[in-house]
Amino acid sequence: MASSDRRRPRAQGARIQTPIDGEPDVGSGSDREHEAKPGAGPVLDAAGRLRDATQVPSPNCDERPAGVTIDLLVVHSISLPPQVYGGNEIIDLFLNRLDPAGHPFFASLLGLRVSAHFLIRRDGGLVQFVPCAKRAWHAGVSNFQGRERCNDFSIGVELEGSDADRFEMAQYRRLAQLTHALRRRYPLDHIAGHAEIAPGRKTDPGPFFDWARYRSAITRR
């Protein structure tokens, strides 16, 4: 996502009431997974929906090209407003209902139709916007090892974060667990940050994403 590319001062954006506001924690139901036995992770349904994720369907997706192999996982980071965590603005953006008047930064996002397959909140809560069988609109103009239009063959995971903050341990745990679950279904031979597939245009997940920690966690399993 573009939002993490922009440096803005910390600010409190207006909180937009959504049905999710009524829940104490978008991912609260899945925290128990942290105690699950190794290998007893969450399961994908036929369309690539993770049963243990909170499902918030986004219209910003379409069909993947016929016969494509989903072999790339793209790691992103996003926060709205930048460096402000815990609100519903990311969800609102992916559902095309972000209030442009809610924060000065939001005007720059007006008309943007984007999504990711997953969002991992700061507390490790997991939200799914697009089933993995469909093409989410997360990578934009991109190129991975000579292959363009990475949305065609990738799964996009957003971490709630920014280029200026460390990520939470709960996020690394969830990302590793999610990667493990996805690899049971899809031959995800490659993992890349958004910055790697859109150099010069994107910087996420940013310098604070600990690739060594993540790669170690997914190798151990």
The two structure tokens encoding residue 41: 């992770």
Task: Identify residues 20-49 at the interface with Zn ion (CB under 5 A).
Answer: none
Nearest approach, Cβ of residue 58 and Zn ion (Å): 15
Nearest alpha-carbon partner for 197 in 75, 78, 77, 82: 75
Of 57 and 140, which has the nearer Cβ to Zn ion?
140
**The only residue of 103, 121, 135, 194 in contact with Zn ion, by rule CB under 5 A:** 194
Q: Is 114 in the site for Zn ion (CB under 5 A)?
A: no
Nearest approach, Cβ of residue 29 and Zn ion (Å): 26
Q: Is 174 in the site for Zn ion (CB under 5 A)?
A: no
Q: Is 163 in the site for Zn ion (CB under 5 A)?
A: no
Of 84 and 195, which has the nearer Cβ to Zn ion?
195
Q: Is 117 in the site for Zn ion (CB under 5 A)?
A: no
Of 184 and 201, which has the nearer Cβ to Zn ion?
201
Q: Is 1 in the site for Zn ion (CB under 5 A)?
A: yes
- The residues pairing with 55 across neighbouring beta strands, listed in sequence order, are 128
33 given a catalytic annotation: no
Of 46-54, 90-98, 175-183, 186-194, the window that binds Zn ion (rule: CB under 5 A) is: 186-194
| Long-range interactions of 179-186: CB distance < 8 A, separation 24+ | 179/73, 179/218, 180/41, 180/218, 180/221, 181/41, 181/42, 181/43, 181/44, 181/50, 182/44, 182/73, 182/132, 182/155, 184/44, 185/44, 185/48, 185/132, 186/70, 186/71, 186/132, 186/155
* 199 three-class SS: coil
Q: Which of 63, 89, 148, 158 is catalytic?
A: 158
Nearest alpha-carbon partner for 50 in 153, 140, 205, 174: 174
Name the residues that contact Zn ion, by CB under 5 A.
Answer: 1, 76, 194, 204
Give the residue numbers annotated as catalytic, written as ranges. 158
